[in-house]
Chain A
Amino acid sequence: MAFFLQLVVSGFLTGSVYALMALGIVIIYKASSVFNFAHGSIVAFTAYLIWHLMVNLHLHIIFAVIISLPVIIIIAYLIQRLILYPLTGQPPLAAIMATLALAEVVNGAITLFWPGPARTYPKFLPTGTIQIGTVFITLEEIVNFIICGLAFTGFMLFFQKSKLGLTMRGTAEDHQLARSEGVKVNRIFVLAWFIAIIMAGIGGFLMANMHGVNQEPLIALGMKSLAVVILGGMESILGAVIGGIAIGLLEALGAGYLDPLVGGGVEEVFPFIILVIILLIKPYGLFGYKRIERV
């Protein structure tokens, strides 16, 4: 029982970071129907950017964040203007593959600017372990969870209450209609990328705290959020959160109970098997829109 509880708690806490990263993909998909393959690379890029500002330029974390915001805006604008805007109205797959090529560009940029072994952030989060009953939790995990919770709440409030958030949701529903109401759709797309990259940045920062600022693991973790998004349903913000936590739990339980039976490595396969089974029952993910097709 202690084993089970520990697995559930750890899986839940890890899953919350997955959920945060998946939100980035969902928001871009909602706004512009583009499935962003570059998410993992952007996660890694932002982690490196923050590292660069904090360690090479000796800035405080708060200044580092403030400086990286305009950089992110510029990147979001360039992506929208140079890649996605010319591809509007073209086959959607072309835009999706353009994001894959974008991932290659971002990876190359990381190798160009920050070659060599992984970096580590200076320690500023409290470290230590607390014990609740039989379950051990590190303070790091709790901080991670709190940051994810805050980011998620802020995200929800933005979409539920603010005018801009409501505009974005409206735009996602129908570009044509939004345009006729005087919404500048292109700006909304830039904003969507901006928010997505910020989400990626927070996720990347938290993951890099655990793994070190290392290109490949961060990219792989970003790719994992693809599975999260599909499990939750591509359009659903709640789905991304539940999907992320579900993948975290499935990994932990798979490693805990199936690894000894089949000889290891289940952690990476098990969530996908469950994913296919869930898709067979609910073909649009757990919370995705069911498309009513007309001929």
Chain B
Amino acid sequence: MLKKPCGTFDETYAQDIACIRTPFRAGLLILLLLFIFIIMPLVADDYVLGIMNVIGITVIAMLGLNILTGYCGQISIGHVAFIAVGSYTSSILSAHLGWQFWATFPSAILVSGLLGLIVALPSLRIKGFYIAISTMAFHYITIWIILHGGDLTKGVWGLPCEFPIFFGISFDTERKMYFLIMALSVLGTIMAFNLVRTKFGRGFVAVRDNDIAAEFMGLNIFRLKIMAFIICSMYAGAAGSLYAHYLGMITVEQFPLIDSIWYMGFLIIGGMGSISGAIFGAIFYRLIAQVVIFTAPMIGEAFPSLSVSGVAGFTQILFGVLIILFLVLEPRGLNHRWQITLSSFRLWPFPY
């Protein structure tokens, strides 16, 4: 856990289990919230808010994956399939039954949670990469069902999904969606933060570190694994539902398998097994795409002999190289680096 600054002592149990231990941290948190909810909307234009919206949705999805993979140690490369389930549940309810966001959102979470339960069942016997591939099988099956879903999923055609409406206000602009998405991702973060401090959260870590040892200690590891899968898929369902309502239109092509693997990759870059790591990963995932888009014209200017599709190839190489650099230089994730930086500030002027 975090090192406490010098001179901070826990004198009561309440202090020991408190989330926010020092007034300084409370101040930081308030500043962060102020920044997200007041300063950003004031200074940012629609473009920046649009990026923030996608980041917010990614944060929710990444938090779920972090609980399953980072805390409980079960590798999943079917995460996008759960997001697809959430999206399609929302869109089906919205397009066919005309339900509003406040009803489709919880339903999407419930449906993905149920599917998470089913996918979790083999995890008792299957471990490691083999469980990863069985989640991949779930991905293929989900996409197949969506494609062959007839009128319900409109197969190949895609489904429209209404923008959220609250009290007669339609959230149809980036700015309005920003508040909704940010509120939900802050809520999701708080819930995740609390979850890992509970009995279950500690159980997850025990299962990750060694599931046989955890079993000896009297933990019901099957139940824990199922719990982790369900929570992970519920987060994914929430992200999927938000995504569908944000975009207004979903098609099956929006949920490729490779994205699931990238979710894993960026979780590692962010730092597995910590909430802030998941958030770093999500931010990095979406920002690096922007960096690549913005560098493309510069590469074109720097190498005029390169054809335009050559530039596209070049940016793809750049993307890969950046990720390799981050993995090679900091294999434990950005969060690890962040903690080191934080503690060196805290301990200054001493080296450690």
Contact = CB atoms under 8 A, between A and B. Distances in A.
A276 B320 contact: no
Given A37-B261, A97-B265, A98-B324, A108 B272 contact: no
A110 B137 contact: no
Contacts of A279: 122, 125-126, 130, 133-134
A113 B324 CA distance: 21
Interface in B290-348: 306-307, 309-310, 312-321, 323-324, 327-328, 331-332
A265 B320 contact: no
Nearest to B148: A263
Nearest to A98: B327
Contacts of A264: 148
B38 interface: no
Contacts of B130: 230, 279, 283-285
Contact of A91 (B133, B323, B328, B332): B332
A128 interface: no
A234 B323 CA distance: 26
Contacts of B125: 279-280, 283
B134 A276 contact: yes
B277 to A, nearest CB: 12
A150 interface: no
B140 A272 contact: yes
Contacts of A82: 324, 328
B147 interface: yes
A1 interface: no
B37 interface: no
A268 B127 contact: no
A275 B328 contact: no
A295 B213 contact: yes
A96 to B, nearest CB: 9
Contacts of B134: 275-276, 279
Given A97-B264, A105-B321, A112 B137 contact: no
A230 B128 CA distance: 11
Contact of B320 (A103, A234, A285): A103
A135 interface: no
B129 A111 contact: no
Contact of A272 (B75, B137, B324, B328): B137
A260 to B, nearest CB: 14
A112 B317 contact: yes
Contacts of A100: 261-262, 265, 323
Interface residues of B, number: 47
Contacts of B75: 93
A227 interface: yes
Nearest to B310: A112
Q: Which has the most chain B C-beta neighbours within 10 Å: A95, A104, A234, A273? A: A104
Contacts of A37: 261
B34 interface: no
Interface string A224-255: 00110010001000000000000000000000
Interface string B99-126: 0000000000000000000000010011
Interface in B129-166: 129-130, 133-134, 136-137, 140-141, 144, 147-148
Contacts of B264: 93, 97
A102 B307 CA distance: 23
B332 A90 contact: yes
A107 interface: yes
- What is the interface residue range for chain A against chain B? 35 or more
Nearest to A83: B324
B140 A269 contact: yes
Contacts of B198: none
Nearest to B261: A100
B320 A90 contact: no
A86 B328 contact: yes
A110 B312 CA distance: 11
Given A100-B265, A107-B316, A269-B141, A93 B127 contact: no
A75 interface: no
Contact of B316 (A93, A104, A263): A104
Contacts of A276: 122, 134, 137
A90 B314 CA distance: 29
A66 B136 CA distance: 38
A116 interface: yes
B210 interface: yes
Contacts of A262: 148
B137 A108 contact: no
Interface centre among B133, B210, B264, B269 (most CB of A within 10 A): B133
B181 to A, nearest CB: 27
Contact of B129 (A35, A263, A265): A35
A216 to B, nearest CB: 12
B331 A87 contact: yes
A31 B107 CA distance: 47
B292 to A, nearest CB: 10
Contacts of B67: none
Contact of A101 (B129, B144, B306, B324): B324
Given A115-B309, A230-B133, A280-B125, 14 more contacts: A94-B327, A104-B320, A104-B323, A108-B317, A109-B317, A110-B313, A111-B316, A113-B313, A273-B137, A275-B133, A276-B134, A279-B130, A284-B130, A293-B212
Interface of B: 75, 122, 125-127, 129-130, 133-134, 136-137, 140-141, 144, 147-148, 210, 212-213, 216, 261-262, 264-265, 268-269, 272, 306-307, 309-310, 312-321, 323-324, 327-328, 331-332
Give the 10 A-B residue pairs with the shortest CB-CB distance, closest first: A108-B316, A111-B313, A112-B313, A104-B320, A105-B320, A108-B317, A272-B137, A90-B331, A101-B323, A94-B331
19 contacts: A35-B129, A83-B324, A91-B331, A93-B268, A94-B327, A100-B265, A102-B320, A104-B323, A105-B316, A108-B313, A111-B310, A111-B313, A113-B313, A227-B136, A230-B130, A230-B133, A234-B129, A268-B144, A279-B134
